[in-house]
Amino acid sequence: MLNCFRYINIYMLHRTTLLKKPSENIQIFRLTSTTSEKLPSNGDNINIPKYIHRSSTDILKAISSTIQRDPTAAHYKYHDDPYLIPVSNFQKRAYALSQESGRKAAHWIRNQHPDLFNHKVAFPPIEKFYPKVFYDESHELDENELKKVIEKGVVSDAITVYNLLSKNGIEISSDTQQALLELVCFYNNQDDIEEDWIEERWYTQVNKEREELRNTWKSNGFSNSLFSTIKSPNAHHYSTIIQGMSKYNQFEESYKLYKEACEKKLILSINSYNSAIRSAIYVKEGADHKWLHIQEILNQMNDLDVPMNLMTLNSILYVLTTMAISPESKKYALKTIAEAKKFNIEPCLSSFYYLIQIFCSDKKNKSTILVDILNLLEGKTLNIKDIADTNFFVAAMENCRYHLQNFSVALRVHSLLLTGNNYNLIGNSYKESVYYRHFFAILCQNESTELLMKYYNDLVPHIYIPEPSITEMIVKSINVSAAVEFYPKLWSDILMFDQADREPVIVELTNGMAQNLFPSFEQSVKEELGQLAGTIYDSIEERKETGKIKMSWTGSLLGNLIEVCLFGDNIQNATEIIMKLKNNENEIIGVPDSQNITNFLNYCINKNYFNEILICVEYILEVGLEVDLDILISKIIKSMVLSPMQRAHLSKLIGTEHYVEIESKTESVIS
């Protein structure tokens, strides 16, 4: 087909050239003929490249590798519509889980009415689309069915089928029994969250973290009873149950079984030795005992000719992290790594994670082990080899923040994360946000605002939404460098992330704004700032009315806002704030700085705003602010032309006698 098109094209080309100019036509023919002549001369040493096996999705991967992340777009799991794009952490979680919950509802309906979904449209049939099979006594079951269920990895079904089979007195082969034991031990007798529920996995692992060290093994569960039905368990059975128990932190039992197997002189699988090494954390106390325990098991492995693997290395390092206070642990760790090198074992990310923990537990003696690790890893595409691999990036970034306090190292960690498919190793949503929390903290502490905002614009809000503490740090960083141009963007983000009720953030922001008012700014910047202060006041006020924000105003906060408003000639909002101060005296904590109020009065005198002056003077008198009112009044009399009505108002406010006194003084000065 393609060839055919090419011929047509060539033909067309020739025809058009023929129509145009005969001379060109000849040239083209000559060109083609020369190339065809040259080909056979090279023909002697044609090297046919080796066939590269491509999978069916390779072309898609190649195409997708040409596309980079678009920082202005939300994750593709969200619908690309302004109404449907999440803008805060809460929304991100809620939307993703809502969609999954909808999918679950559909799943439920399919399982409620399995008879309706048995039609077969797809060819070849896709099992995922058919309703789940429920096993009960009416089924005619045999061992093959059990094998199928085990293959699918559905624990509850496997247990039901096994029970039904044993009820009917059907014997199963030892291979199947072993497979079943492996399945139930791996999943601790219960169904795991199905692979389809991606979001649930992404968001719920936060809770799993807390369970990390708790014994969650189902004692008296199916796996224990299955194990006890085996009359003379062999090494495989022992290995399986030991690994299962230690996976769910039932170390005492697993260690007992390990001892039992050792007495029977069984050669266990390498991973059960690894599990036994891990049990040192619970079975033994004190650094020396733990190390002896490890050595004992390693010697045993040596005697039985079981070579160590990557998991052995990780297990030892894991035990060493729990005794990191002991100075010996570092020595042991290096020894273990050296030993692993002899076996040609490359440490994986989790080994490095443990190393960071071991070497950087001491806050006084700073270790730069992370830099060495980065030298090793830089530019490599990493694969997951151990479940703990996902802890590495968070730990590395945390190390950069607290231990090394070095942004260039943090940047190297970040670039490693962005290499190849390494981003898959970030773990889950919780770890991702902790990672970026540390990253931004280092940025705020050590780097210029321009760089900070470069990363901010790239990562916020679609990848990371700063927590209030980080927002405060960002505001502080902007305050320090007086980068006033970023205030409007930051404020709109604070509103969007629902952080306008965080008092420290607001206080920091308004303080910073009030401190960074330089008369040298251009008029447009000044006006923008003034408007922004007004917007801040308005939007907080609006949210307070609807009950979204419970924070109460403080005098100094409002004083700062007045200051910024005046700076940008936003007299309207400034007056509004003065009115607010005057009317809600009891709700507002403290009073504004007297300097702010004096500035307001001076501004009004210059611009000839008499009504605003009256309100302000009234407020000053009510609260008894420490403002030298006499000087200000005399200034008013001096520089403003007051109508008799206005004079009467003013004198009524401050007391007629006092007013006359000031007036006469001022006049005497003038004359």
Stretch that binds other proteins, among 48-56, 97-105, 544-552, 591-599 (CB under 8 A): 97-105
List, in order, residues 6 or more apart from 145 with CB less than 8 Å away: 139, 161
Q: Which of 9, 27, 33, 98 binds other proteins (CB under 8 A)?
A: 98
C-alpha 581/C-alpha 576 separation (Å) is 9
Q: Which of 363, 305, 348, 354 is nearest to 333 (CA)?
A: 354
Q: Does 99 bind other proteins (CB under 8 A)?
A: yes
Q: Does 106 bind other proteins (CB under 8 A)?
A: yes
Taking the complex as a whole, how short is the minimal distance between the CB of residue 497 and other proteins, in angstroms?
16
> Which strand (E) or helix (H) includes residue 37?
helix 22-42
> Segment 126-155, which members bind other proteins (CB under 8 A)?
126, 129
Number of residues counted as binding other proteins (CB under 8 A):
28
Taking the complex as a whole, how short is the minimal distance between the CB of residue 79 and other proteins, in angstroms?
6
Stretch that binds other proteins, among 121-129, 167-175, 397-405, 658-666 (CB under 8 A): 121-129
Q: Does 1 bind other proteins (CB under 8 A)?
A: no
Three-class secondary structure of residue 224 per DSSP: helix
Q: What angle do CA 108, 111, 113 make, to 5 degrees?
A: 110
Q: Which of 2, 52, 63, 121 binds other proteins (CB under 8 A)?
A: 121
Q: Does 94 bind other proteins (CB under 8 A)?
A: yes
Read off the tokens for 347.
């440490």
Read off the tokens for 639.
């520089």
Q: Residues 253, 290: contact at Cβ < 8 Å?
A: no
Taking the complex as a whole, how short is the minimal distance between the CB of residue 203 and other proteins, in angstroms?
14
Three-class secondary structure of residue 589 per DSSP: strand
Q: Does 29 bind other proteins (CB under 8 A)?
A: no
User: What is the per-residue binding string for other proteins in 44-83, x denoting contact by CB under 8 A?
Assistant: -----------------------------------x-xxx
> Segment 403-442, which members bind other proteins (CB under 8 A)?
none
Q: Does 100 bind other proteins (CB under 8 A)?
A: yes
Report how far apart, in Å, the C-alpha atoms of 89 and of each of 92, 423, 446 are. 5, 20, 26
Q: Does 7 bind other proteins (CB under 8 A)?
A: no
Q: Does 14 bind other proteins (CB under 8 A)?
A: no
Stretch that binds other proteins, among 100-108, 243-251, 425-433, 614-622 (CB under 8 A): 100-108
Stretch that binds other proteins, among 120-128, 283-291, 329-337, 537-545 (CB under 8 A): 120-128
C-alpha 554/C-alpha 571 separation (Å) is 20
Taking the complex as a whole, how short is the minimal distance between the CB of residue 190 and other proteins, in angstroms?
24
DSSP lists the bridge partners of residue 589 as: 554
**Which residue number, 81 or 657, has a Cβ lying nearer to other proteins?**
81
> Segment 301-360, which members bind other proteins (CB under 8 A)?
none
DSSP string, 149-202: HHHHT-HHHHHHHHHHHHHTT----HHHHHHHHHHHHHHTTSPPPPTT-HHHHH
**Which residue number, 126 or 170, has a Cβ lying nearer to other proteins?**
126
C-alpha 217/C-alpha 248 separation (Å) is 5
Q: Does 635 bind other proteins (CB under 8 A)?
A: no
**Which residue number, 117 or 343, has a Cβ lying nearer to other proteins?**
117
Stretch that binds other proteins, among 107-115, 321-329, 515-523, 627-635 (CB under 8 A): 107-115
Q: Residues 223, 158: contact at Cβ < 8 Å?
A: no
- State the burial class of residue 517 (Cβ atoms within 10 Å of its Cβ: 0-12, 13-18, 19+): middle
C-alpha 141/C-alpha 168 separation (Å) is 9
Q: Which of 105, 213, 451, 480 binds other proteins (CB under 8 A)?
A: 105
Q: Does 107 bind other proteins (CB under 8 A)?
A: yes
Stretch that binds other proteins, among 99-107, 275-283, 333-341, 538-546 (CB under 8 A): 99-107
Q: Which of 31, 109, 213, 589 binds other proteins (CB under 8 A)?
A: 109
Taking the complex as a whole, how short is the minimal distance between the CB of residue 80 and other proteins, in angstroms?
8
Quote the DSSP letter at residue 232: S
Q: Does 102 bind other proteins (CB under 8 A)?
A: yes
For residues 632-671, one letter each, b for 16 or more C-beta atoms within 10 angstroms of the residue's C-beta and e for the rest, the string is bbbebbeebeeeeebeebbbebbeeeebeebbeebeeeee
Q: Which of 89, 91, 300, 539 binds other proteins (CB under 8 A)?
A: 91
Q: Residues 662, 630: contact at Cβ < 8 Å?
A: yes
- State the burial class of residue 530 (Cβ atoms within 10 Å of its Cβ: 0-12, 13-18, 19+): buried
C-alpha 280/C-alpha 275 separation (Å) is 9
Q: Residues 39, 32: contact at Cβ < 8 Å?
A: no
Taking the complex as a whole, how short is the minimal distance between the CB of residue 95 and other proteins, in angstroms?
5
Taking the complex as a whole, how short is the minimal distance between the CB of residue 468 and other proteins, in angstroms?
23
**Which residue number, 72 or 668, has a Cβ lying nearer to other proteins?**
72
Q: Does 507 bind other proteins (CB under 8 A)?
A: no
Q: Does 110 bind other proteins (CB under 8 A)?
A: yes
Binding site for other proteins (CB under 8 A): 79, 81-84, 86, 91, 94-96, 98-107, 109-110, 117, 120-122, 126, 129
